[in-house]
């Protein structure tokens, strides 16, 4: 049904989407409620999603640049 390659592409595009989310426009709405001072108390689902997106951005921004470059070169060369 879905080949391995298409699932990998899907994850890459989703991660790209996570990395692009602009902190000021979208996430500040959620971050203003929270004091963001201590990490023991973010037990609601939305807060944990926000933290997940923030951590993905911090960790994966630079490696995603490299991976995207490689994938773009492959697609341009090999169709």
Partner 1 sequence: MSEPDWNWGYQPDQTAQAHHQGQPGGWAPPAPQHSDYYGGAPTPQAPVPPTQPNYSQWDPNASVPTYDQSGFGGVPAGNFANGAPNAYGNNQFAAAAQGFMGDPMFNAAKTFGGQFAEQQKQALSQYISSFNLKYYFAVDTKYVGRKIGILLFPFAPRDWSTQFGGDGKPVPAKLDVNAPDLYVPLMAFITYVLISGFVFGVQQRFSPEQLGMQTTNALFYLFLENMIVFITKYVLNISQSLSLWHTLAFTGYKFVGIVVCLVLYLLGGTTIYYCALVYMVLAITIFLARSLKSFVLDMQSGGYNAYDGGRKRKMYMLLSVVVTQALIMYLLTSSVTSYMGDNLDFAKMALSKMGVKSKDVPMTADGEVDYEALLKMP
| CB 49 to partner 1: min, Å | 6
How far is Cα 58 from Cα 51, in angstroms, rounded to an integer?
A: 11
How far is Cα 17 from Cα 64, in angstroms, rounded to an integer?
A: 11
Q: Return residues touching partner 1 (CB under 8 A).
A: 1, 4, 7, 43, 45, 48-49, 52
With respect to partner 1, which residue has the nearer C-beta, 29 or 48? 48
With respect to partner 1, which residue has the nearer C-beta, 14 or 73? 14
How far is Cα 79 from Cα 72, in angstroms, rounded to an integer?
A: 10
| CB 7 to partner 1: min, Å | 7
């Amino acid at each position: 049904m879905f080949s391995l390659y298409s699932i990998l592409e899907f994850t890459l595009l989703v991660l790209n989407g996570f990395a692009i989310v602009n902190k000021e426009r979208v996430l500040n709405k959620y971050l203003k409620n929270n004091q963001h001072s201590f990490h023991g108390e973010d037990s609601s689902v939305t807060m944990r999603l926000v933290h997940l997106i923030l951590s993905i951005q911090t960790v994966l921004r630079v490696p995603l640049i490299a991976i995207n470059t490689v994938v773009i070169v492959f697609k341009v060369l090999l169709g």
